[in-house]
Amino acid sequence: MTGRGKAAALFRFLVMATVSVLLLSCGSKLQQPLSQLDTTEHYTFTGVRLLDQEKFSAAGREFELALRLDPRYSRAHAGAGLVKAYQGDFKGAFESLKQAEKNAGSDEEKLFVLVGYIRVNTISHAACLSIGTSCRPDDAWVKYSQDAFAQAVRIDPKAASPYYFMGECYLTALDLDQAGRLFSMVLDMNGEHVGDADRRWKQVQKIQRARPGTVTGIKIALVERITRADAAALFMEELKIDTLYTRRTPRGFDTAFRDAERVRTAAPRPVAATDIADHPLRADIEGILRIGTRGLDVYPDGAFRPDEQVDRASYAMMIEDFLSRITGDEALATRFIGSPSPFPDLRADLPYFNAVMVVTSRGIMEAKDMVTGEFAPLQPVGGAEALLVIRKIREQLRY
C-alpha cells in the first residue's frame, strides 16, 4: 500500500472512531441520570403530585421520563395507567397496570398497583353518576375492585389509600353506606387522604340525612352545582310536585295570580322547549313546564337551558312559588316586602328578597355562613343542599 493509501485509510479509521464515540455518548445520555434529581423515583414522585392536582398531561410526561430511565419501574407504569384512565384511554390504562403488576417487587409497589386497579375501575365507570345511566354495587367492576381492595388490605391493613379509593368506588356505585363506612375508617387512621375523606364523609352524611327516594335524587345529591334540569328532576321525582298540586291545591286557587313582583299571563304555559329533545331529564323538564314553576320557565327564545346552574336566590324563588300555590296563601308572595333585611348581603329591594325571607323564616333554607350571617344569594346550590331543602318541605307538608 502506498503512503497516500495508508494516510487515507488512517483518516477513514479516525472518522469512524469519532462517529462511534459520539453515538455512544449520545446514547448514554438517554440512559444515565444527568443530576441527583434525574431519577425514576423523583420523576414518579412528581408525576403522582401532578396527578393529584389533575394536571394529567404534565403528570404523563413525568412518568414517561421515569420509564426512559427504567422501563421496568412499576410505580411509573401504574402512574402512567392512571393518566391514561383520566384521559379516557381505559384499554391503555389497564395495559399499563399489567406492566406495573408484572414488575412490582416490593409490597409497597404491589399495594400501589392494587390501588391503581381500584382507581381505574372507578374512573372508567364514573358514568354511573350520570343521569340516565344505571349501575349496581354487584356489577363486575365493583367486584374486581373489591378483590383488589382485599389483597391490598392483606399487604398492609394500616394503609389508608385502599380504604379511601374503595370508598370512592362505592360512592360511584351509589352505595352510600359502604362509602361512608370506608371514609370513616380513613378518618380513624388520621393519615393519608384524611382531608379528602373528611369532605366525602360529610357529603355522604348530608345525603343520607336528606334521604333521597330515587336513584336520580342520589346522583343529583352528589353534584356540587345543580342545574335547571336537576332542579326540575328534584321537584318532579323527589317532591312529586305534580301529585301534590293535584291532591293539595285548594279549590279555586288562582294559578294566574298577579302581583308587583311577577306577572303571570293567562296564555297557556309552553309544554316544550327547543333545547331538551336529547336531554336525559326531558320528561321531568316537560312535566315542570306543564305545571309552571317560577324560575323554571322557558326563556323568551324558547330555550329551557337545562345545563344552566341554579343559584340560591333562584332556588328560593322556586320554593316560594311552590309554597304559595300548595298552601293557597296568595299573600306569601308579598309578605316581607318593606321589611328590613336580616342578611348583610341582601338588600330589601332585590327581586328575590321576599322569596329568601319566606324560605328562611320557615327554616327551609338558612344563611350560607352562620358566622357572618350572609345568605350568599348568588352562590350555586349543591346537590345535597337542594335535596335537604326538598326533605324539609316534605316534613312540613306532613305536619
Show the cell assigned to 56.
394529567
DSSP-derived secondary structure letter, 237 = I
Q: Tens of pLDDT along 333-370?
A: 999 999 999 999 999 999 999 999 999 999 999 999 98
Of the candidates 234, 199, 267, 272, the one whose C-alpha atom is nearest the C-alpha of residue 388 is: 234
* Structural contact between residues 174 and 135, judged by C-beta atoms closer than 8 angstroms: yes
Q: Give yes or no for a contact between 86 and 123, defined as CB atoms under 8 angstroms apart.
A: yes
Cα separation values, 67 from 25, 51, 99, Å: 20, 16, 11
pLDDT given for residue 22 in this prediction: 44
3-class SS of residue 227 = strand
168 three-class SS? helix
Q: Is 319 exposed, middle or buried (0-12, 13-18, 19+ CB in 10 A)?
A: buried
**Which one of 1.25.40.10, 3.40.50.300, 3.65.10.10, 1.10.287.3510 gives the CATH number of domain 40-210?**
1.25.40.10
The domain limits of the chain are 40-210, 225-398
- Which pLDDT score, from 0 to 100, does residue 260 have? 43
Cell output for 280: 336525559
Separation CA 355–CA 258 (nearest Å):
15
Of the pLDDT bands very low, low, confident and very high (cuts 50, 70, 90), residue 43 is very high
- pLDDT, one tens digit per residue, over 82-132 is 999 999 999 999 999 999 999 999 999 999 999 999 999 999 988 777 766
Following CA atoms 31, 36, 37, 41 in sequence, which dihedral angle do they give, to the nearest 10 degrees?
Answer: 70
Q: Is the pLDDT of residue 277 over 90?
A: yes
**Given this model, what pLDDT does residue 78 score?**
97
Burial, 267: exposed, middle or buried (Cβ in 10 Å; 0-12, 13-18, 19+)?
exposed
